[in-house]
A and B are shown apart, each in its own frame.
Chain A
Amino acid sequence: MARYFLIRLVSLVISLIVASVVIFSLIEIIPGDPAAFMLGINAQEDTVAALRAELGLDVSPVTRYFEWIGGMMTGDFGTSYTYRTPVTEMIGERLWISLPLALIALALSTLIAFPVGILAASRRGSMTDTVIMGFTQLGVAIPNFWFAMLMVLVFAINLRWFSAGGFPGWDEGFLAGLKALTLPAVSLALPQASILARVMRSALVDTLDEDFMRTARAKGLNRRQAIWRHALRNAMIPVLTIIGLQFSFLLAGAIIIENVFFLPGLGRLIFQAISQRDLIVVESVVMLLVFAVIVVNFAVDIAYALVDPRLRRQA
């Protein structure tokens, strides 16, 4: 187990270093000068030069790379070119929206997908199975932004139960914040739940045909006991993989939903920062997301080993 853990850890560190170089160089290559962008079309050349110096853009990219990396090690992501506030603070604020949103969506998706997938698998070929699979097919097919707009139309414009978007801030109270995240979380969760339910079903269906299931039934377990004790645990590997991928996607990929609901999350921050050429923010947020994805994958790898003892021994 220790060896398995160590190998995963080394690969995590290497991934991070490679990612930081790729991100930094890609962002340095894209055309567009942040200072010129901020000052607009009437600015004089000397003003642009003064601002470049003020932003620290007049030093070489290599120096800036090491300053950036060095800062990140100590938790200092630098100062945003456009907003002139510490990037760490900005990310922190946005994370307080994106992270709860991703977690709520993931929880909803799992809560829906597990029972539905298990039900469909255990009644394989029945009417229930067909209906559930039909609905999940639909859930996968519906684009989540369209579903989001539909929900705004029904719950915000017609019923007036929720506001059409925005985020009041957690200062306004936990419930107000939760309310603002409800519609976005549901729109994010629906397609994820559909995918997860389908994966759950097919993984479970595969294990139901295994010999050990027949043995389990033969030693006297009823169908439900056999599924809970033996089939489910064996079906977890693909399901965990999907959950890991989904969490990374939900954290970084909520950008369209954040736009529909005008939520000030990480996705929108990065989108704004790219168009404003706020390079330091783009670099730091992307790096953070890469970090999150890599760490989640690491956690999933560890979880595999926990549910499947064979993996521990192999490594």
Chain B
Amino acid sequence: MNVKTLTSAIALTLAAGATQAETGLIVGIQLEPPHLDPTSAAAGAIDQVLYSNVFEGLTRFGPDGSVNPGLAESWEISEDGLTYTFKLHEGVTFHDGTTMDADDVVFSLDRARAEDSANAQKALFAEIKTVEAVDPSTVRVTLSSANGSFLFNMAWGDAVIVATESIEDIKTMPIGTGAFKFSNWVQGDQIELVRNENYWGTPASLESATFKFISDPTAAFAAMMAEDVDVFYSYPAPENLPQFEADPRFEVLVGSSEGETILSTNNLMEPFTDIRVRKALAHAIDRQAIIDGAMFGLGTPIGTHFAPHNPDYVDLTANSQYDPELAKSLLAEAGYPDGFTTTLKLPPPSYARRGGEIIASQLRAVGIQTEISNLEWAQWLEQVFRGKDFGLTIVSHTEPFDIGIYARPDYYFQYDNPDFQKLIADLTAETDPAKRSELIAMAQTIISNDYVNVYLFQLAVPTVVKAGVQGIWPDAPTQAIDLTVVSWSK
């Protein structure tokens, strides 16, 4: 009798635990944010936790990467594309109760573009000439030159609206306007958000959301299997995915990211100054073999620096078909019949480390020897990115719509093509969508034909979710985990 009572008591407790869990969500991510200010660091983890959930911008990204109204309910653009007049939502308050109005927008944008700003994406604000509050719910932004990407730029996590009153402590106590409020940060372990009951828009379905930081792939597997976490975003051990797919307790979402993974080539270093050598590299590499071997089949081959899920994408993979014989003859033509030796510097992510080994062996097959060195990120930034001391490197460029980096001759791969720079300048100034698409297609084609880098594949984002969790974005148009539309199915 006693045993029976005890068992039913335990069963009840367990059941209570289960129902309680379904109003909150625990999300596992690999990296912990260094601090909680999305406007002063590049760390993707800050946006993952806070973007859209706690902080909002004038515009915001939708699940497909489209730019939608955010704190601005509408806007007008002048004929010449230089003046943007934003109409703000009325009655929006920050989590500390202060009102969000035009002055906060002026403050946020001025702060981001100030002389001493620590904004990691300061270039987003480069064209802004003035920001004025017309009235409490209207903001006028004047640009020095037209920028067709301005609304897109304002959707970035680095352009969210912050309050004058709470900026002092933003790094540890972020106060935004979003559907979730920051609640607690157990450093090294987790960050908790709770639902904002006074949210101006559609309130979140979840009462609370907890982000847990689990960096080790094996620990991530254990935490998911033990159901300690409900969602693991960007799951780090793709080799376990089939096991989750086979388990009815879980679901696996494989989405596309903005990460163009490329074999970056130092265009100013011999012998890569010769386009025939760069073309030989492109033909020496079997993209599918890398995707299968290094990424467990996750990833889409690309032929240019552009995301395949974008409507403006042009499929140029045919430009760099796997053809080792052609690669050898191109090398011979360029004066390297016996190949040459170069460096291959690899940052820590597995796409680079595992992919690097495969690429090295594929290059060896056409006569190119590589000296592989494994670098930490800080070393990579110093040697490769800033020092430009490398022959080849593998890196995933995760910023959305970043083809413009090819117009910067001092960028680490050092591609200097005045025609391309002119094209990007035209594109920036163009506001007509049809003409923009045309220019974007031309840009993709130029860099593909010039074989600036070897375009390998678009990085996939695998996310493991517990059955019953709905509304997680499968794709990653920006580094965000938007939980405002996530719910548990009844």
A binds B: yes
> Do B378 and A31 touch (CB < 8 A)?
yes
> Do A33 and B381 touch (CB < 8 A)?
yes
Please indicate the chain B residues that have their CB under 8 angstroms from the CB of A215 in the complex. Answer: none
Stretch at the interface among B219-227, B442-450, B480-488: B219-227
Question: Which of B35, B115, B223: most chain A Cβ within 10 A?
Answer: B223
> Do B216 and A43 touch (CB < 8 A)?
no
Q: Is the interface of B mostly helix, strand, loop or mixed?
A: loop
Say yes or no for B340: interface residue by CB 8 A criterion. no
> Do A262 and B223 touch (CB < 8 A)?
yes
Say yes or no for A277: interface residue by CB 8 A criterion. yes
Say yes or no for B172: interface residue by CB 8 A criterion. yes
Stretch at the interface among A80-88, A203-211, A232-240, A292-300: A80-88
> Which A232-278 residues sit within 8 Å CB-CB of chain B?
259-265, 268-269, 272, 275-277
In the complex the two chains form, what is the Cα distance from A108 to B187 in whole Å?
A: 28
> Do B34 and A260 touch (CB < 8 A)?
no
In the complex the two chains form, what is the Cα distance from A32 to B386 in whole Å?
A: 10
> Do B34 and A40 touch (CB < 8 A)?
no
> Do B187 and A83 touch (CB < 8 A)?
yes
Return A200 CB to nearest CB of chain B, in Å. Answer: 33
Say yes or no for A93: interface residue by CB 8 A criterion. yes
Q: Given A39-B42, A82-B35, A260–B381 Cβ distance below 8 Å?
A: no
Closest to A162 in B: B226
> Do A269 and B222 touch (CB < 8 A)?
no
Chain B residues touching A, range:
35 or more
> Do B122 and A43 touch (CB < 8 A)?
yes
> Do A82 and B116 touch (CB < 8 A)?
no
> Do A94 and B35 touch (CB < 8 A)?
no
> Do B118 and A84 touch (CB < 8 A)?
no
Say yes or no for B469: interface residue by CB 8 A criterion. no
> Do B378 and A32 touch (CB < 8 A)?
yes
In the complex the two chains form, what is the Cα distance from A84 to B173 in whole Å?
A: 12
> Do B41 and A38 touch (CB < 8 A)?
yes
Please indicate the chain B residues that have their CB under 8 angstroms from the CB of A156 in the complex. Answer: 222, 225-226, 228
Please indicate the chain B residues that have their CB under 8 angstroms from the CB of A164 in the complex. Answer: 219, 222-223, 225-226, 228
> Do A165 and B223 touch (CB < 8 A)?
yes
Closest to A51 in B: B118
Partner of A268, one of B41, B115, B171, B188: B188
Closest to B214 in A: A262
In the complex the two chains form, what is the Cα distance from A44 to B116 in whole Å?
A: 12
Closest to A260 in B: B219
Partner of A42, one of B121, B171, B379: B121
* Other contacts beyond A39-B118, A83-B34: 12, CB < 8 A: A33-B382, A36-B381, A39-B120, A40-B120, A43-B121, A50-B115, A50-B116, A82-B35, A84-B172, A152-B226, A165-B219, A261-B219
Of the A-B pairs whose beta carbons lie under 8 Å apart in the complex, a sample of 13, sorted by A's number, is A32-B382, A36-B386, A41-B381, A43-B122, A46-B122, A50-B117, A54-B116, A90-B187, A164-B222, A164-B226, A168-B189, A264-B187, A265-B188
Please list the residues of chain B having a beta carbon within 8 angstroms of any beta carbon in chain A: 32, 34-35, 41-43, 115-123, 171-172, 186-190, 212-216, 218-219, 222-223, 225-226, 228, 348, 376-379, 381-383, 385-386, 397, 399, 402
Please list the residues of chain A having a beta carbon within 8 angstroms of any beta carbon in chain B: 31-34, 36-44, 46-47, 50-51, 54, 82-85, 90, 93-94, 149, 152-153, 156-157, 160, 163-169, 259-265, 268-269, 272, 275-277
